[in-house]
Amino acid sequence: MALILASNSPRRTEILTLAHIKHKVIPSTCQETIPDGLTLFEVVEHLSYQKALDVAKHYPNEVVLGADTVVAIEGKILGKPHDEKEAIWMLQSLSGKTHQVVTGITIIHQGQIKTFHEITEVEVMALSIEQILDYAQKEYIYDKAGSYAIQGSFCRYISKIVGDYYNVVGLPICRVYQELKEFEDEIQ
Protein backbone atom coordinates (compact mmCIF):
# COMPACT_ATOMS: atom_id res chain seq x y z
CA MET A 1 0.00 0.00 0.00
CA ALA A 2 1.05 3.61 -0.47
CA LEU A 3 1.12 6.37 2.09
CA ILE A 4 -2.01 8.52 1.95
CA LEU A 5 -1.39 12.26 2.07
CA ALA A 6 -4.50 13.86 3.59
CA SER A 7 -3.74 17.17 1.90
CA ASN A 8 -4.39 18.75 -1.45
CA SER A 9 -1.18 20.79 -1.23
CA PRO A 10 0.81 20.45 -4.44
CA ARG A 11 3.93 21.47 -2.50
CA ARG A 12 3.58 18.59 -0.04
CA THR A 13 3.12 16.04 -2.78
CA GLU A 14 6.12 17.49 -4.67
CA ILE A 15 8.28 17.13 -1.55
CA LEU A 16 7.18 13.51 -0.97
CA THR A 17 7.82 12.75 -4.65
CA LEU A 18 11.24 14.41 -4.51
CA ALA A 19 12.10 12.17 -1.53
CA HIS A 20 10.90 9.07 -3.44
CA ILE A 21 8.13 8.37 -0.94
CA LYS A 22 5.28 6.70 -2.79
CA HIS A 23 1.94 8.17 -1.85
CA LYS A 24 -1.53 8.93 -3.03
CA VAL A 25 -3.44 12.11 -2.34
CA ILE A 26 -6.81 11.91 -0.62
CA PRO A 27 -7.51 15.38 0.78
CA SER A 28 -9.35 15.81 4.03
CA THR A 29 -12.76 17.41 3.74
CA CYS A 30 -13.22 18.09 7.44
CA GLN A 31 -14.27 21.47 8.74
CA GLU A 32 -11.17 22.62 10.63
CA THR A 33 -11.82 23.85 14.15
CA ILE A 34 -9.42 25.25 16.73
CA PRO A 35 -10.40 25.03 20.38
CA ASP A 36 -9.68 28.11 22.49
CA GLY A 37 -6.56 28.28 24.60
CA LEU A 38 -4.18 26.24 22.44
CA THR A 39 -0.56 27.22 21.98
CA LEU A 40 0.86 27.74 18.51
CA PHE A 41 2.33 24.23 18.53
CA GLU A 42 -0.91 22.68 19.77
CA VAL A 43 -2.86 24.47 17.00
CA VAL A 44 -0.81 22.96 14.15
CA GLU A 45 -0.76 19.53 15.77
CA HIS A 46 -4.53 19.68 16.35
CA LEU A 47 -5.21 20.70 12.74
CA SER A 48 -2.93 17.98 11.35
CA TYR A 49 -4.67 15.44 13.58
CA GLN A 50 -8.12 16.51 12.35
CA LYS A 51 -7.06 16.12 8.72
CA ALA A 52 -5.37 12.74 9.23
CA LEU A 53 -8.25 11.37 11.29
CA ASP A 54 -10.82 12.52 8.74
CA VAL A 55 -9.14 10.44 6.02
CA ALA A 56 -8.02 7.55 8.27
CA LYS A 57 -11.60 6.76 9.30
CA HIS A 58 -12.29 5.85 5.65
CA TYR A 59 -8.97 4.00 5.21
CA PRO A 60 -8.31 2.32 8.59
CA ASN A 61 -5.68 -0.10 7.27
CA GLU A 62 -3.60 2.52 5.44
CA VAL A 63 -0.88 4.85 6.72
CA VAL A 64 -2.31 8.38 6.63
CA LEU A 65 -0.33 11.59 6.96
CA GLY A 66 -1.98 14.91 7.80
CA ALA A 67 -0.12 18.23 7.93
CA ASP A 68 -0.78 21.87 8.69
CA THR A 69 1.68 24.75 8.37
CA VAL A 70 1.40 28.23 9.85
CA VAL A 71 3.53 31.33 9.90
CA ALA A 72 3.76 33.08 13.26
CA ILE A 73 5.34 36.33 14.33
CA GLU A 74 5.45 37.61 17.88
CA GLY A 75 3.01 34.88 18.89
CA LYS A 76 0.40 35.78 16.27
CA ILE A 77 -0.56 33.24 13.61
CA LEU A 78 -0.62 34.54 10.06
CA GLY A 79 -2.82 32.31 7.94
CA LYS A 80 -3.58 32.63 4.26
CA PRO A 81 -4.59 36.18 3.29
CA HIS A 82 -8.18 36.82 2.27
CA ASP A 83 -7.42 39.86 0.14
CA GLU A 84 -4.61 42.11 -1.05
CA LYS A 85 -4.91 44.46 1.92
CA GLU A 86 -4.41 41.61 4.38
CA ALA A 87 -1.53 40.20 2.31
CA ILE A 88 0.25 43.56 2.33
CA TRP A 89 -0.28 43.87 6.10
CA MET A 90 1.21 40.38 6.60
CA LEU A 91 4.26 41.15 4.46
CA GLN A 92 4.77 44.44 6.32
CA SER A 93 4.57 42.50 9.60
CA LEU A 94 7.35 40.14 8.44
CA SER A 95 9.58 42.90 7.05
CA GLY A 96 12.88 43.23 8.89
CA LYS A 97 12.00 40.55 11.43
CA THR A 98 12.43 36.88 12.22
CA HIS A 99 9.32 34.72 12.25
CA GLN A 100 8.54 31.07 12.80
CA VAL A 101 7.14 28.57 10.33
CA VAL A 102 5.60 25.69 12.24
CA THR A 103 4.23 22.51 10.69
CA GLY A 104 2.18 20.02 12.63
CA ILE A 105 2.26 16.42 11.40
CA THR A 106 0.04 13.49 12.33
CA ILE A 107 0.58 9.93 11.12
CA ILE A 108 -2.21 7.41 11.75
CA HIS A 109 -2.12 3.68 11.08
CA GLN A 110 -4.56 1.14 12.50
CA GLY A 111 -5.33 3.22 15.57
CA GLN A 112 -1.68 4.14 16.22
CA ILE A 113 -1.25 7.92 16.24
CA LYS A 114 1.99 9.94 16.09
CA THR A 115 1.74 13.72 16.27
CA PHE A 116 4.64 16.16 16.28
CA HIS A 117 5.70 19.55 14.97
CA GLU A 118 8.73 21.13 13.36
CA ILE A 119 9.85 24.76 13.72
CA THR A 120 11.95 26.80 11.29
CA GLU A 121 13.08 30.36 11.96
CA VAL A 122 13.01 32.66 8.92
CA GLU A 123 14.51 36.13 8.78
CA VAL A 124 13.13 38.56 6.20
CA MET A 125 15.14 41.63 5.19
CA ALA A 126 13.59 45.06 5.64
CA LEU A 127 11.23 45.62 2.72
CA SER A 128 10.04 48.87 1.20
CA ILE A 129 6.37 49.31 0.46
CA GLU A 130 7.31 49.28 -3.24
CA GLN A 131 8.93 45.85 -2.88
CA ILE A 132 5.91 44.53 -1.02
CA LEU A 133 3.43 45.87 -3.58
CA ASP A 134 5.54 44.57 -6.48
CA TYR A 135 5.70 41.10 -4.92
CA ALA A 136 1.98 41.04 -4.06
CA GLN A 137 1.06 42.02 -7.63
CA LYS A 138 3.36 39.56 -9.40
CA GLU A 139 2.88 36.41 -7.30
CA TYR A 140 -0.26 34.48 -6.41
CA ILE A 141 -0.08 34.70 -2.63
CA TYR A 142 -3.60 33.85 -1.51
CA ASP A 143 -2.91 30.16 -0.87
CA LYS A 144 0.27 30.87 1.11
CA ALA A 145 0.49 31.15 4.89
CA GLY A 146 2.02 34.52 5.69
CA SER A 147 1.46 35.64 2.07
CA TYR A 148 4.72 34.29 0.70
CA ALA A 149 6.39 31.23 -0.78
CA ILE A 150 10.08 30.76 -0.01
CA GLN A 151 10.48 28.68 -3.19
CA GLY A 152 9.24 31.58 -5.33
CA SER A 153 10.63 35.04 -6.00
CA PHE A 154 10.26 35.94 -2.30
CA CYS A 155 13.49 33.96 -1.78
CA ARG A 156 15.41 37.12 -2.63
CA TYR A 157 14.12 38.69 0.59
CA ILE A 158 15.06 35.82 2.93
CA SER A 159 18.28 36.80 4.71
CA LYS A 160 18.54 33.81 7.05
CA ILE A 161 16.89 30.47 7.75
CA VAL A 162 17.48 28.24 10.76
CA GLY A 163 15.97 24.79 10.45
CA ASP A 164 14.42 22.68 7.73
CA TYR A 165 13.94 24.57 4.43
CA TYR A 166 11.29 22.08 3.33
CA ASN A 167 9.31 22.84 6.47
CA VAL A 168 8.91 26.38 5.14
CA VAL A 169 7.75 24.98 1.81
CA GLY A 170 5.14 22.85 3.62
CA LEU A 171 6.55 19.52 4.87
CA PRO A 172 9.61 18.87 7.06
CA ILE A 173 10.67 15.91 4.96
CA CYS A 174 13.69 14.76 6.97
CA ARG A 175 11.61 14.44 10.16
CA VAL A 176 8.67 12.90 8.28
CA TYR A 177 10.98 10.36 6.65
CA GLN A 178 12.43 9.38 10.02
CA GLU A 179 8.96 9.01 11.57
CA LEU A 180 7.68 6.98 8.60
CA LYS A 181 10.47 4.40 9.00
CA GLU A 182 8.32 2.80 11.69
CA PHE A 183 5.71 2.08 9.01
CA GLU A 184 8.01 1.06 6.15
CA ASP A 185 6.61 -2.50 6.06
CA GLU A 186 3.14 -1.02 5.39
CA ILE A 187 4.28 1.50 2.78
CA GLN A 188 5.42 -0.10 -0.49
**CA–CA separation, 52 and 54 (whole Å):** 5
**CA–CA separation, 175 and 75 (whole Å):** 24
**CA–CA separation, 66 and 55 (whole Å):** 9
Q: What are phi and psi of 48, to 5 degrees?
A: -65, -35
Q: What are phi and psi of 180, to 5 degrees?
A: -75, -20
Catalytic residue among 36, 54, 68, 164: 68
Q: Is 134 a catalytic residue?
A: no
> Measured at the alpha carbon of residue 150, what is the angle toward residues 98 and 167, in degrees to the nearest 5?
80
- Measured in whole angstroms, the distance separating CA 148 from the mean position of its chain's CA atoms is 12
Asked if 104 contacts 65 with a C-beta cutoff of 8 angstroms, the reply is no
Q: Any idea which residues carry the catalytic annotation?
A: 68
